[in-house]
Chain A
Amino acid sequence: MPEWMTVALWIAAAVVLATIALGLVRVERGPSNGDRMLAAQLLGTGAVAVLLLLARAADAPALLDVALVLALLASVAGAVFVRRLGVQPVQRGQDRTAEDGP
């Protein structure tokens, strides 16, 4: 693998990580719990992508197994959420006051 390819893959992994970090703003803002859960789903997919890129960049195929485990479990938290809690509708005006801190 040429040197520039390794560099490019590391940068790609960092960019994906920074990109999905935008989803954290949605976790913070909500307003409904469904919004927070779906943002976590996005971060899970992003983490899988980062692992796949690192597996190649660092030449560590074992990381493919870590990605496989994450992919297998990607739906578990969402399924528990829907079965146990469900999306709670947001009362207008309440989501603002429910925010803690700026």
Chain B
Amino acid sequence: MTGEDVRSALSLTLIGAGIAFFLAGSIGVLRLPDLLSRLHALTKADNLGLGLVVLGLTLQADDAFQVVRLLLVWLLVLFASSVACYLVAHSATHANGEPTPTVGPDNPSMDKRDGR
């Protein structure tokens, strides 16, 4: 087994781990009961899912410019999603300018129907 093979295998492992986080994030967005917990699930996909995919791909990059662009894409998505999630969460908890702490499960009856 050459060094090249080891690098390819490591790269694929990282990408696979990233996909696992995308899956976890998507399932979280789908299954968690209310908006704020779904935001929590979403950030996993952005931070770790894309992060691990980017890390895996940097191992295969042809030149430094590609590595820079890959990392820049990740940092930008990280920043954009953090700010967007903050803004959405802030908007949800401060409806009409007042803090509204009562953000509970949207529809408990539906949860039972789904067998949860």
Knowing A22-B27, A23-B29, say if A89 contacts B95 (CB, 8 Å): yes
A32 (CB) vs chain B CBs: closest residue:
B35
Overall SS of chain A's interface:
helix
Count of residues in B whose CB is under 8 Å from the partner chain: 49
Which among A1, A42, A64 has the highest number of chain B CB atoms within 10 Å?
A42
Count of residues in A whose CB is under 8 Å from the partner chain: 51
Residue contact A2 to B8, C-beta cutoff 8 Å? yes
Overall SS of chain B's interface:
helix
Knowing A19-B26, A75-B84, say if A12 contacts B15 (CB, 8 Å): yes
Residue contact B84 to A74, C-beta cutoff 8 Å? yes
Q: What is the 8 Å Cβ interface bit string for chain A, positions 67-102, against chain B (1 contact, 0 not)?
A: 110011011001101100011111010011000000
Instruction: Report the Cα distance A25→B33, complex, angstroms.
Output: 14
Q: Give the residue of B39, B60, B69, B85 whose beta carbon is less than 8 angstroms from that of A1.
A: B60
Knowing A16-B19, A38-B38, say if A48 contacts B66 (CB, 8 Å): no
Binding site for B on A (CB under 8 A): 1-2, 5, 8-9, 12, 15-16, 19-20, 22-23, 25-26, 31-32, 34-35, 37-39, 41-42, 45-46, 48-49, 52-53, 56, 61, 64-65, 67-68, 71-72, 74-75, 78-79, 81-82, 86-90, 92, 95-96
